[in-house]
Amino acid sequence: MDFAKLKQILSLPAYTGLSISAAEVLINTKNIAVKVPITVHDIEAYLTASRKLLAITDSANTAAREAVLGLAKFDSFDTLNPAYLATLTALLDGLVTASLITTTDKTNILAMGDAMISQAEQAGLGIVNAGHIQATGVI
């Protein structure tokens, strides 16, 4: 445990006047939105579950062929990288235009790149417990 980092966080105004248990809940609450990579496996699993993968892979449509090739070239799409996110979005837009997926499918796939983390996770602390908080002497 990096107690210096933890002490710094616990010194923020949001923690002023909190009990140890309330601080533990707050620091571990997943309320910070972050972008995470979207794996090709997850995209293919979604398309399989929605019964659309076969139609895409069997289609002669240019957008479908581009999507199949694009999915074969990547293990994941790093949504923090604007170029990769734009590539994935363009592939999905092509599939929507070709009526091979819906806009809801596109939204659901892109949402795979959204996650929530806690302040403790963001700081690299993992899960913070009451003992950690008490050991800092801040609260």
State the pLDDT at residue 73: 87
Residue pLDDT, tens place only, 8-65? 999 999 999 999 999 999 999 999 999 999 999 999 999 999 999 999 999 999 999 9
> Tokens in use for 96?
């929507």
Residue pLDDT, tens place only, 62-89? 999 999 998 898 899 999 999 989 989 9
Residue pLDDT, tens place only, 45-54? 999 999 999 9
For residue 139, name the pLDDT band (cuts at 50, 70, 90): confident
Rounded to two decimals, the pTM is 0.75
The answer to whether 21 and 130 are in contact (CB under 8 A) is: yes
Residue pLDDT, tens place only, 89-121? 999 999 999 999 999 999 999 999 999 999 999
Domain map (residue ranges) of the chain: 3-30+119-136, 37-112
CA angle 58, 59, 60 (to 5 degrees): 120
